[in-house]
Amino acid sequence: NAGVTQTPKFRVLKTGQSMTLLCAQDMNHEYMYWYRQDPGMGLRLIHYSVGEGTTAKGEVPDGYNVSRLKKQNFLLGLESAAPSQTSVYFCASSYSINRGRQETQYFGPGTRLLVL
Amino acid sequence: AQTVTQSQPEMSVQEAETVTLSCTYDTSESDYYLFWYKQPPSRQMILVIRQEAYKQQNATENRFSVNFQKAAKSFSLKISDSQLGDAAMYFCAYRKTSYDKVIFGPGTSLSVIP
């Protein structure tokens, strides 16, 4: 049971380049999330998904797109990377039980992205 | 809107001593969850402890315990018998029970002095 995994672990992009971050979980969780972490700001939610084929915007969605084609995978895309997107990105997942009540979120190890 | 505040950017504690990390939050909800997460240098977020607002009893997990003051909207974390492995960033977090978003505080960096 690997839990939540993220690929890649580290990436350097040039401004304007695109890339996709992959998050995978093997816990059969319904909910998945993408956060970014910046110094002094805690974690901020980018997008989330409450089930296969559904996605929703979080606090800071601009410049990112997501897809949840399979229950176990949640992809985060940057179409045209900007230096402001330099950050550490965390994926998380959780169950959804009892009309929206969730269990604890389980986090992946993070992806460090540097945009030059 | 809900907010989570951690007023101590950095804390330090002697090994084997006790330290308390502070957290306050703002909400108009009566039912919600509160969490403390630990982020060691490896960067992975690890759940330390969870508290349901409808429970009056403070949560405890081995050396970690909380002091949950619902009326004051305060949720502090006490670490007893501090160990070197406790050195990390600690994030307080809040979530409404019927909503999907977890709101994190800015974090407190804890150093453990041998």
Closest chain B residue to the Cα of A109, Cα to Cα: B44
Distance from CA of B51 to the nearest CA of A (A): 11
* Residue A113, Cβ density class (10 Å: 0-12 exposed, 13-18 middle, ≥19 buried): buried
Residues of A in contact with B106 (CB under 8 A): 40-42
Share of chain A above pLDDT 90, in %: 71
- Look up residue A78 and give its amino acid: L
Backbone dihedral angles phi then psi of residue A26, each to the nearest 5 degrees: -115, 25
Which of B42, B99, B106 faces A40 most closely, judged by CB atoms? B106
**Environment class of residue B55 by beta-carbon count within 10 Å: exposed (0-12), middle (13-18) or buried (19+)?**
exposed
* Token couple for B52: 């349901």
Structure confidence by residue, pLDDT tens digits, A23-37: 999 989 888 999 999
Q: What is the pLDDT of residues A39-83, one digit of tens each?
A: 877 889 999 998 899 999 988 999 999 999 999 999 999 999 999
Token pair, residue B82, equals 């501090």
Q: Are B43 and A43 in contact (CB < 8 Å)?
A: no
pLDDT of A40? 73
Q: Which of A31, A42, A106 sits opposite B100 (nearest CB)?
A: A31
